[in-house]
Homo-oligomer: A and B are copies of this chain.
Amino acid sequence: MASQGAVPLRPAFQLKTPKGTRDWSGRELHLRECIFRTASEIFELHGAIPLDTPVFELRDILAGKYGEEARLIYNLEDQGGELCSLRYDLTVPFARWLAMHSDVKQVKRYQIAKVYRRDQPAISRGRLREFYQCDFDIAGSYDPMVPDAEVLRVVVDIFHALELDITIKINHRQILDGIFDIAGVPADKTRTISSAVDKLDKSPWDEVKKEMVDEKDLPKDVADRIGEYVQRSGSMSEMLASLKTVTEFCDNPLVKSGLDDMTLLMSYLEAMNIIDKVSFDLSLARGLDYYSGLIYEVIPQTNGSTIQVGSIAAGGRYDGLVGMYGKQPVPCVGVSLGIDRIFTILDARETKKKSQKMARDAEVFVMAFGGKDFDGLLPERMAIAGELWKAGIRAEYLPKKKPKPQAQFNAAGGVPVAVMLGQDELAAGQVRVKAIQAEKEEGATKDRGTLISRSDLVQEVRMLLKAAGL
């Protein structure tokens, strides 16, 4: 390799990106951009405004919001001045923004930005320390479950637009807390038992029970009672019908309130024509502390695919978070899309299809040929490319003063249209154009294309591009 012979100018150090981070370029970036655009358009269809917050926040803003996970926060060095940390998610910055704008009573906002977690990275499975989140939230006081239903509709619309089949698992924190209450879980163990229940999507009940009893000191009979309830799942109508027959559920005010919410939600999801996408799953618990009502996780239906990415979006209602900043509480409900996981699935599909090219390749290659006095016609090639750029056509030329014919054809490989210049023809106000995609290079150098008036250039090129299906 050419670089082996170079003499390092300074002591060598490892040339890489920091642990758990990576560069993105070309086709991958275009695919990611396409996901962002799809999501943004649907957010705006629902009247959401975009929000952009700084990549770091005052450390006090993040403090006390993430429980144990706070150890994963990246801190900035104290270089004199304020203590700051990189954002850990987009929810806390939004809550901070809401607390700062107490005049905003109701708002839908979306934010697409990178977040930072000093976790153990697993790059092949798409788990990085720097990764994108894409959040949509509805803040403010509304009639019950109305914004919750709209968030789920937004989720369905986005994955429909991305052509990804999904199931939305839903549950309700009050139902779950009520069940723990009925089963006899002490109040101070509610959250830790809740996170054990949340593992039921990956582990069998026996293992989860073992964790509750052995690690978390829950009496065996309490765990058994939990197990009886939380392993139930099904359609909303089946589940609601069945749960409403359980007397102790209807007697528990938490469960009762949660079931009322779910009944109302069902009628709205039916009206919005997305009820078939939803599964009511009592084992869904979600890790974060701040959820207070409806919770949900989106699972992709990757039929037969080998990619197992877990949930690709998740969220819920968090009515207490904004109030933590000492201002008036603002009820919120929202969803966060797991962009990197969605990317992984779509990327595998695109690679499988192979046909779709995400890179914007050149459409026209501008060449020049001549006899023994040939000076390369570089300014003339530049001028022609300039006319094409002006018309919004992606044009290139070989950036050499005196290019050889074969070098130009090689560089034009895959470009559908060639514009060919000759000294005498240019003097007569003429250029040649030619479709080159399907031909072999050998033959191409012989066929000299169609002679046209230079003033017709853009029009002729557009016709050739159209004929080539572009």
Docked complex Cα distance between A12 and B383 (Å): 64
Decide yes or no whether A348 CB sits under 8 A from chain B.
Answer: no
Point out the residues of chain B lying under 8 angstroms from A118, CB to CB: 79, 81
A12: nearest residue on chain B (CB-CB)?
A: B326
Judged by a CB distance under 8 angstroms, whether A46 is at the interface is yes
With contacts A379-B267, A386-B273, A400-B143 taken as known, whether A84 is within 8 angstroms of B324 at the C-beta atoms is no
User: A92-135 toward B: CB 8 Å interface, digit per residue (1/0)?
Assistant: 00001101101000000100001010100000000000100000
**B326:A17 contact, CB within 8 angstroms:** no
Contact A17 B54, beta carbon cutoff 8 Å? yes
In the complex, A441 has a CB within 8 A of chain B:
no
Near B by CB (< 8 A), chain A positions 29-60 give 29-30, 33, 42, 44-47, 49-58, 60
Residue numbers in B under 8 Å from A33 (CB-CB): 50
> Given the complex, which residues of B lie within 8 Å of A271, measured CB to CB?
378-380, 382-383, 386
Q: How far is the CB of A157 from chain B (nearest CB, A)?
A: 6
Q: Is the CB of A379 within 8 A of B270?
A: yes
Q: What's the nearest-Cβ distance from chain B to residue A237, in Å?
A: 15
Q: A75-B77, A143-B399 are in contact. List 16 more A-B contacts (CB 8 A).
A: A13-B58, A15-B326, A16-B58, A17-B54, A23-B52, A23-B97, A25-B109, A55-B55, A55-B114, A74-B76, A76-B86, A149-B382, A153-B386, A268-B378, A273-B383, A273-B386
A390 cross-chain contacts in B, Cβ below 8 A:
157
Q: B328 touching A399 by the CB < 8 A rule?
A: no
Interface check A70, CB cutoff 8 A:
no
Given contacts A16-B58, A21-B54, contact A146 B383 (CB under 8 A): no
Nearest B residue to A154 by beta-carbon distance? B389
Contacts A326-B9, A360-B44, A389-B46 given; does A54 touch B399 at CB 8 Å: no
Say if the beta carbon of A245 comes within 8 Å of chain B: no
A64 within 8 A of B: yes
**CB nearest to A384 among chain B residues:** B271
Indicate whether A470 reaches chain B with its CB closer than 8 angstroms.
no
A19 at the interface (CB under 8 A from B): yes
Measured CA separation A29–B327 after assembly (Å): 26
A1 contacts partner chain B, Cβ-Cβ < 8 Å:
yes
Please state if B17 and A29 are interface contacts (CB–CB under 8 Å): no
Q: How far is the CB of A213 from chain B (nearest CB, A)?
A: 34
Chain B residues positioned under 8 Å from A1 (CB to CB): 102
Is A362 an interface residue, CB under 8 A from the partner? yes
B51 contacts A29, CB within 8 Å?
A: yes
Give, as a whole number of angstroms, the nearest-CB distance from A462 to chain B.
Answer: 15
Across the A-B interface, the 8 shortest Cβ-Cβ residue pairs: A8-B326, A271-B379, A21-B54, A75-B77, A24-B52, A146-B399, A3-B102, A271-B382
Question: Is A469 among interface residues, defined by CB-CB distance under 8 A?
Answer: no
Roughly how many angstroms separate A362 CA and B49 CA in the complex, as a whole number? 11
